Structure 1
């Protein structure tokens, strides 16, 4: 900007000098023959002004070259920034997609955990029911055994001692029968526990297969 102002000032100086060297009184008439000294002085002045103009033009060209280089640098920076912006936009879209996928996976995992908790609660209820049935059967057997012992005591007083061995044998047979019945009940309960355990494993396998399929 300073160089352009200097060039304008030089042009103005040259214009003022031309106006001073022009004689308005001789306008439209014959001009006097200039002297050699005047011509040489004017030539030197013109040569000096020419050098000044050449310097001004050189400065302007230098400024123009520098501006052109700065423009190239700015354009390169703009292209680099646009490339970085596109890369950032791509990375942002990728992160957003990954975030959505993570949210969907989290929702699926929550649903699977909820289903697992419901199945586990169902298994607990079934196990509690089996234990309750087993406890009732055991209490019934203990009551029957107590009744049998009480009957045996009563029979011990009622029957003749000679028949006592036979009665004891009968009581022993009844006792064995009750014990056998208890063993059968216990075997049934054990089988029921195994079936429940097998059912639990099967449901777990189905749940795992469903998760893998998803």
Structure 2
């Protein structure tokens, strides 16, 4: 129990309601009570200072906590914004990946289509070449059989003509083979390749006709 609790201020302030016959309190008692009152005042002032100091400390801690809360709230907002940004980027990447997958599938289908066209063109060219070789063999056979009906004077001329015709046919074949090889490197030129093959057949026919007439 503190001095304040044990000391009643009213004991000093309240005037005793004693009768006239009673004696006035002594000065020593009044001084003693005054000292007790001053001591109680000092205790109260000390306790008030401690309370104010504690209040300031708590206020500082509250301000620090409020600052920390604001800082953490700012960090949280930044993290949430970063999370949303990463989520948007992830969605964009998924869409881009799906688009690239579709484009890749389309390119694979297109490459397969071109590959089939090239194989068909090669097969058609092989057939045409075989036909050309058969016709060339027939032409050579015809020239050999005709040599029996020509005189000795005309034989060198006919041999030279046959060699020239054969040379021209081989040159024409070589040129067309080069054109076909060039067109095969460009899958989109299948129509031009067919045109070259038709031109090859026509050229062979013209050379055959010219040779037979000679």
TM-score by shorter chain over 0.5: yes
Tell me which residue corresponds to 2:62.
71
Which deviates more, 137-146 or 58-67?
A: 137-146
Which one of 1, 5, 16 corresponds to residue 6 of structure 2?
A: 16
Alignment of 1:18-97 (within 5 A): 18=8, 30=19, 32-97=23-88
Count of aligned positions: 183
Higher helix share: 1
RMSD (CA atoms): 3.9
Shift of 1:96: 1.0
Which one of 96, 103, 113 corresponds to residue 94 of structure 2?
A: 103
What is the SS of the residue equivalent to 1:107? helix
TM-score after normalising by structure 1: 0.66
Unaligned runs of 5+ in 2: 190-214
Tell me which residue corresponds to 2:137.
146
TM-score after normalising by structure 2: 0.66
Q: 1:67-111 deviations in whole A, cap 9, x for unaligned? A: 111111111211122122112211211111111112111211221
Change (3 A) 1:187 1:122: same
Q: 1:104-124 deviations in whole A, cap 9, x for unaligned? A: 112112211222222222222
Shift of 1:55: 0.2
Tell me which residue corresponds to 2:127.
136
**Does residue 183 of structure 1 match 2:185?**
no
Shift of 1:65: 0.9
Larger relative contact order, structure 1 or 2 (CA cutoff 8 Å, min sep 6) = 1
Q: 1:2-55 deviations in whole A, cap 9, x for unaligned? A: xxxxxxx43xx4333449x89xxxx98557522111111111111111101100
Which one of 166, 183, 186 corresponds to residue 197 of structure 1?
A: 186
Change (3 A) 1:83 1:161: closer
